[in-house]
A and B are shown apart, each in its own frame.
Chain A
Amino acid sequence: MVEKEIEEKVYKSIVKTIKDAPLEEFYTSGHRTCQGCESALVMRFLAKAAGPRTIVIGATGCMYVANTTYYTTSWIVPWVHTQLGGSGAAALGTAAALRALMRKGKIKQEPINVIAFCGDLGCADMGLSGVSNAMTYNYNLVIVLYDNESSANTDIQETSMTPYGAQTSFSRPGKQRRIMKVRWKKSVVPMIIAGHRNVKYAATMTPAYPLDSINKFRKALAIGGPTFIHSLDPCPKGWDYDPKFSHELGVLAVETGIWPLYEYINGEIVYNEPTKSIIEGRIKRKPVKEYLEKQGRFSHFTEEDVEYFQKMVDEMYEEWEIPAVMPIKSVNVKISDK
């Protein structure tokens, strides 16, 4: 069972319907993101969920380049840039400074949200050690990994989060090798929850489910301590599809089981939205083909590749100890009396 105190915090923080969400926007006009950009929605949801008493830190990435052009910044709340691999340390420094300044009476004592966001290249690759370090300290901060499965501000390059086989400018299919991206995508949330004991909240999300997304930010901020949210953001430019299908692709990623939606609350995994129904056996996962065939980045896939992809996703649900989350299985070890 979730501890009572945390349960109360979660209950108080959530928004029951999308109509109950605050009307105010703190990430507003002025950004230059692409048409159909889902990462822009992540920013909008997190700002809406957090409200005005917030400091946002943004690592280098497409959301830096597109959003924060001098004179056209889209942030109503204070926003600070950090280097590509700096989001963990920057959040830590900000949270630590606020705590010290409030304790020493140098600024007014009040809760101020500290949110750092970083893309998959900055967070899951270069900045992972910094994010991990931030998760070991007991400061109130949220780190948001907005994952469009590529390095999207430098053109579209492969990162460790690019799905198997996807085309990027670093992984182009050629005459000899059809699949250049042979690595399977990392699972970052399990890494965070398994390795950092004082993390009380971590979650996956996708902006295709707005209420779920807003509530996950609100829960993270309400529960406090170091928290982590990993968002899958369909990207029309990098994934090569018509921008009008952004939401549909987010939904398909969940419904095909490629992107399970779950949250970790104080030691428990809770599945959300369609993933919950999938895990409970009430609906069947859609074939991954439906998701893959809508994107140009998988256009070189043969039936064989799709089958392999399907097999890997099936494994996540059928063979993992915690379906679609943890691939570790417990073994019954008998401790001998010797």
Chain B
Amino acid sequence: MTETRKIIEREVLMNGTQAVANAAMYADVDVVAAYPIRPYTEVMDTISKLIADGELDAEFIVAEGEHGQFETVKHASLVGARTLVGSSGVGWLYAMEAIVVTATDRAPVVAIIGNRALDDPGAYGVEHNDAMMVRDVGWLLAWVDTAQEAFDTTLIAYRVGEDPRVLVPVGISMDGGFLTHSEQIVRLPPKELVKDFLPPYNRGKYLVHPDNPITVAPQVNEDWVMEIRRQHDEAVERARGVIVEAYESFKKVFGRYPGSTSEIEMPENPFVEPFMIDDAEIVLIGMGTVSKPMKVAIKKMRNQGYKVGMLRIRWFRPFPTQDVIKYLSQAKVVCVIDRDYSIGSPNRGGVIYHEIRSSLYDLDQRPKVLNFIGGLGGREITIQDVEKIIKIGYEHRDTPITKPVYWVGVRGDPW
């Protein structure tokens, strides 16, 4: 006999960072390391208050810099503590050495990245290049779109990262300002259900403890490093299946698909969010909150007869190659909106653009791919911008691409 239970969720108004902090509290984290940099900081403001109020029992370390911040959680994680950490922009880069070894030491810490432009020149608005710095070093990376998704993905991050088949750190990226600082209704499930979804963190034979005297990260040089890199790559690959399991389990335990609420309907695919894509000739691709103007513009343009849809990437690592192929192979033109750039790259485009093009390369009949770099440093990508992108994409249905990369709304550059 299956028991059906009525799940009563609490509705709370909170922004993306607060949602992550609350999820970490639900996950009963043991060690939190903080160091301020906007716009991620509020996650730590919230956590410290939760600890002060006795809602969370955890050690709260204020580090001396981001490098120390990430070293602290790495070592806490290796001795079996569930940890939360995070940063933004150049702070994230200052910690990069520690961030890389967190992955190579297979410490499943969860980090929030409030995406921010890189200095110089100083800017605190969103740009995805900070988080992109770890795309090649073995972190799992998710880009969330709403505070609800931030909350749900944080719980999933602990479940996936700490899975013995994975043991890899997870980064939850969110658009600085647009999501870190905008308040939305978040549905909080009953806390007692969390233990049904999230088992305790158990490092097993990799635990650092006097009862288990192992040596972590000895020097290996050419003797073993290739095998270790390969194992790491295989763990990230295994994460695909574990992510699917986690999303299904989430739905089973909490009664709704991660990211979705009664107001937000979320297609049941952990890796991508397709929108009006079934018959679309033009498909827009983006990550994070850019989906908002995209969705509005798509609805508007659909009324004018444009066959346009959207694919939002939710998990950037592991990259959803199969989903990209599945949803894009029938499209005529793919317009990738990058909130990042890869200066000096092939075609001088953005990072997602190159990943998408690479994913589609082996198809016999592949769509044309256009790239739009926009919204850097926190500049808004407006509905009008997206409409223009759709029109440019539409023009290229039957004409060859002469200009593959556009910069959206740069002064003095008629795009």
Contacts and interface: CB of A to CB of B under 8 A. Distances in A.
Given A68-B218, A83-B67, A112-B209, 17 more contacts: A57-B75, A65-B219, A69-B219, A75-B215, A77-B213, A78-B208, A78-B210, A83-B97, A89-B63, A91-B75, A92-B61, A96-B31, A100-B30, A100-B58, A101-B30, A101-B79, A130-B65
Contacts of B218: 68-70, 73, 81
B78 interface: yes
B224 A70 contact: yes
Please report whether the interface of chain A is mostly helix, strand, loop or mixed according to DSSP. Answer: mixed
B223 interface: yes
B214 interface: yes
21 contacts: A65-B219, A69-B220, A73-B215, A78-B210, A79-B213, A80-B208, A80-B216, A81-B216, A83-B71, A83-B101, A85-B67, A93-B61, A93-B73, A94-B79, A96-B59, A96-B61, A97-B83, A101-B80, A106-B200, A132-B64, A133-B64
Interface in A88-114: 88-94, 96-101, 103-104, 106-107, 112
Contacts of A99: 59
Contacts of B196: none
Question: In which size bucket is the chain A interface?
Answer: 35 or more
Interface residues of B, number: 45
B234 interface: no
Interface string B72-89: 111111111101000000
Please report whether the interface of chain B is mostly helix, strand, loop or mixed according to DSSP. Answer: mixed
A187 B371 CA distance: 57
A157 interface: no
Nearest to B228: A70
- Most chain B beta carbons < 10 A, residue from A77, A92, A98: A92
B210 A97 contact: no
Contact of A107 (B69, B75, B209, B220): B209
Interface of A: 52-55, 57, 64-65, 68-70, 73, 75-83, 85-86, 88-94, 96-101, 103-104, 106-107, 112, 129-130, 132-133, 137
Contact of B215 (A78, A88, A91, A133): A78
Given A86-B68, A89-B71, A93-B76, A100 B81 contact: yes
B217 interface: yes
B386 interface: no
Nearest to A92: B72
B79 A97 contact: yes
B71 A97 contact: no
Contacts of B83: 97
B98 interface: yes
